[in-house]
Amino acid sequence: MVRACAVAACLGLVFVKVGGCAASGGRPARLGDAPEGPAVVVGDWDDVEAAVRVGLSRHELTFARREGRLDSARLVYVVHGVRDERGTLTVERVGDPGEGQVEITISCRLDPATGEARARAVERDVARRIERLRGEVARPREW
């Protein structure tokens, strides 16, 4: 009887541990994943808007409008969240996109109550999406 209880307890711990790992696999970047400063990535400039949409959606954010034309070197997205967060996401490039891939800098500013760590995580998720789209015509979302 004691042995059966011990086995059941061990199996319960295994299920909790496995379930916890599986559940955390799709979460957005956390504080520990996001170093200080804006994210810099090399990629295709024409992938920026798609990457912004996906990166923001991972954090329950979207953009209300874009300031700047898609062919300009700097785009500013006015960001809104489901919990009424507000902010901006700025994307700048160095180089001519007609000559191939360019260096892209992504910086995010959100309400102070939202937290600096969340802004850094948004930057990293947009940068990761640009990296995944580099050289691709299309790519499914990966959480």
Is 81 contained in some domain? yes
Residues of the chain with pLDDT under 50: 2, 5-34
Is 24 contained in some domain? no
Is 50 contained in some domain? yes
Tokens encoding 83: 């919990």
User: What gap in Å lies between CA 39 and CA 86, rounded to an integer?
Assistant: 20
Nearest Cα neighbor of 29 from 106, 111, 102 is: 106
Cα of 39 vs its chain's centroid, Å: 11
**8 Å CB contact between 113 and 124:** no
pLDDT number for residue 61: 95
User: What gap in Å lies between CA 110 and CA 42, rounded to an integer?
Assistant: 24
pLDDT number for residue 77: 97
Is 92 contained in some domain? yes
**For residue 39, what are the domain limits?**
30-133
Residues 6+ apart with CB under 8 A from 119: 87, 108, 109, 110
Residues 6+ apart with CB under 8 A from 136: none
pLDDT number for residue 113: 83
Total domains in the fold of the chain: 1
**8 Å CB contact between 60 and 142:** no
The one-letter code for the residue type at 19 is G
User: What gap in Å lies between CA 123 and CA 126, rounded to an integer?
Assistant: 5
The CATH number linked to 107 is 3.30.310
